[in-house]
């Protein structure tokens, strides 16, 4: 175990400890930490090649008291009235339903995605958990149905990601030898006695662990990122052909700029006519954003890289629908620099020379995580501040404002790694899925 992994073990082992005063806590934690570093240093030659270097997001703020366990399991519709939906602070968004981690039989949540069955019209949520992936029928929000769980391939992991192509889910995790789980979503039509324990229909084993997976539905390719830093693409991106959706095959990769934490891949129709029709990969590569033309899978071309001031950890971003602007989140700039939630907007009119267009500072000091664009709205997973919805209708004029929120972590808006991990805002019904690391699964919708 290397020093960084040993430090991670230290933080995890102390999550349940709650001394009575902050002073006692700091003194005790400091003493244990020094002894642990000495111990780890003496055993630093046993690290595995499969270990991923610890990211900033793995470390919680030590002074935070862990949230008390909750007794409730499920909730249904609660309107947002006078700034509250039951115990949850809100602004313009109602709670439609909720399932707690206890019902899933899991200890933490992570990513989330959604699927509509084109044959039945039913809506489903796919939520990543520490020990697998939960499938939830959300068609009737007064009667959410937890259909079952697909267990992790190997070991548990705090990092799991899922995306969908046609009627298949593709799931990766930061677990050794996990690979890409392929799951036929049509099986959800025939669940008789929920919750079931599902099994994978195929496992692509050309990679071990991965932090994320990206899919371009227009081209039929999947892109696992954040793989082993010592693999053939340096932890960058692997290309997988989904020509046969049930059995992906390798089609190359790219890693000239090292480890890719997250990415978006688009078929480009934006304002830069020079690159019209190209397949463009925009990667969040820890300390920079990389823009690569991956149209030719055997010969990717780097178009540009970009940086910015007060850089902490370049985490994730999403294009506006006209593909002119790329909205980026840095996961540790709030911790390192002390300002409120910061969202960076880059003008991508020239893909070979993108420039910073604007910076938006949120209403709290919470850390920003994943964000997605639907029309003139940016839906941001803002950890302890919950879901925040930004009005980007006047993004050209640099006038971005918050127009709604739903806070699933009412204890605080502190700068810490708790609360909302991700959101899924793409259902035509207007339902928004929220995954909360501590409190489980939520469905919300804009108040009428």
Given this model, what pLDDT does residue 42 score?
40
State the Cα–Cα distance between residues 6 and 32, nearest whole angstrom: 12
pLDDT for the residue numbered 238? 98
289-293 and 301-306 strand pairing: antiparallel
Long-range contacts of 232-237 (CB under 8 A, 24+ apart): 234/258, 234/259, 235/52, 235/259, 235/260, 236/260, 236/283, 237/263, 237/281, 237/283, 237/294
DSSP string of 237-299, one letter each residue: EEEEE-SSTTS-EEEEEE-TT----EEEEEE--SS-GGGTT-EEEEEE-BS-EEEEE-SSTTS
Domains and their CATH numbers in the chain: 3-58 (no CATH), 74-446 (2.130.10.10)
Give the integer Cα–Cα distance in Å for 158 and 175: 9
Q: How far apart are CA 158 and CA 418, in angstroms?
A: 12
- How far apart (Å, rounded) are the C-alpha atoms in residues 316 and 214? 12
From the list 67, 77, 55, 124, the residue with the least C-alpha distance to 101 is: 67
pLDDT at 74: 72
Query: Tokens standing for 448?
Result: 């009428």
The encoded tokens of residue 388 equal 């925040």
Q: Tell me: the pLDDT tens digits for 90-134?
A: 999 999 999 999 999 999 999 999 999 999 999 999 999 999 999
Enclosing H/E stretch for 38: helix 22-42
Q: Cα–Cα–Cα angle for 257, 263, 265, nearest 5°?
A: 105
Indicate the SS3 state at residue 337. helix
Q: What is the pLDDT of residue 73?
A: 58
Q: Which residues of the chain have pLDDT under 50?
A: 1-69, 71
The SS3 call for residue 137 is strand
What is the predicted pLDDT for the residue at 274? Answer: 97
CB-side exposure of 167: number of CA atoms within 13 Å?
13
Question: pTM of the entire structure?
Answer: 0.86
Query: In angstroms, rounded to a whole number, what is the distance separating the alpha carbons of residues 62 and 15?
Result: 9
pLDDT tens digit sequence for 58-67: 433 333 444 4
Task: Tell me how far CA of residue 391 lies from CA of 228, 280, 331, 375, in angstroms.
Answer: 38, 26, 21, 10
The contacts of residue 108 (CB under 8 Å, 6+ apart) are 101, 129, 130, 158, 437, 438
């Amino acid at each position: 175990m290397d020093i960084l992994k040993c430090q991670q073990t230290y933080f995890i082992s102390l999550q349940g400890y709650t001394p009575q005063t902050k002073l006692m806590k700091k003194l005790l934690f400091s003493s244990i930490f020094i002894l642990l570093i000495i111990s780890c240093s003496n055993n630093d030659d046993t690290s595995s090649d499969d270990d991923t270097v610890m990211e900033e997001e793995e470390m919680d703020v030590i002074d935070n008291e862990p949230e008390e366990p909750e007794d409730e399991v499920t909730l249904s519709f609660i309107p947002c009235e006078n700034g509250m939906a039951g115990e949850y602070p809100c602004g313009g968004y109602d709670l439609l339903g909720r399932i707690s981690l206890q019902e899933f039989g899991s200890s933490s949540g992570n990513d989330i995605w959604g699927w509509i069955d084109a044959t039945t019209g039913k809506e489903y949520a796919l939520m990543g958990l520490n020990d697998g992936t939960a499938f939830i029928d959300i068609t009737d929000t007064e009667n959410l149905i937890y259909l079952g769980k697909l267990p992790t391939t190997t070991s548990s992991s705090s990092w799991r990601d899922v995306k969908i192509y046609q009627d298949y889910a593709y799931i990766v995790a930061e677990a050794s030898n996990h690979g890409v789980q392929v799951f036929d979503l049509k099986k959800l039509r025939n669940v008789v006695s929920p919750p079931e324990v599902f099994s994978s229909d195929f496992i692509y084993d050309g990679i071990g662990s991965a932090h994320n997976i990206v899919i371009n539905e227009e081209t039929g390719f999947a892109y696992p990122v954040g793989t082993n830093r010592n693999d053939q693409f340096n932890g960058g991106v692997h290309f997988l052909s989904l020509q046969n959706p049930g059995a992906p095959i390798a089609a190359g990769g790219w890693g000239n700029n090292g480890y890719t934490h997250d990415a978006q891949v688009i078929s480009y129709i934006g304002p830069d006519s020079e690159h019209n029709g190209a397949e463009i990969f925009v990667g969040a590569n820890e300390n920079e954003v990389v823009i690569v033309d991956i149209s030719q899978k055997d010969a990717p071309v780097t178009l540009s890289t970009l940086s910015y001031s007060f850089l902490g950890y370049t985490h994730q971003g999403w294009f506006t629908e006209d593909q002119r602007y790329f909205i980026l989140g840095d996961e540790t700039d709030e911790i390192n620099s002390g300002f409120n939630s910061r969202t960076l907007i880059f003008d991508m009119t020239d893909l070979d020379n993108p420039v910073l267009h604007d910076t938006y500072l949120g209403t709290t000091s919470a850390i920003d995580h994943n964000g997605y664009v639907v029309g003139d709205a940016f839906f941001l997973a803002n950890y302890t501040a919950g879901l925040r919805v930004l009005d980007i209708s006047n993004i050209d004029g640099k006038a971005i404002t918050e127009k709604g929120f739903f806070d699933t972590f009412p204890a605080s808006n502190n700068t810490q790694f708790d609360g909302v991990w991700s959101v899924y805002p793409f259902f035509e019904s207007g339902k928004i899925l929220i995954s909360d690391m501590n409190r489980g699964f939520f469905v919300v919708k804009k108040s009428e």
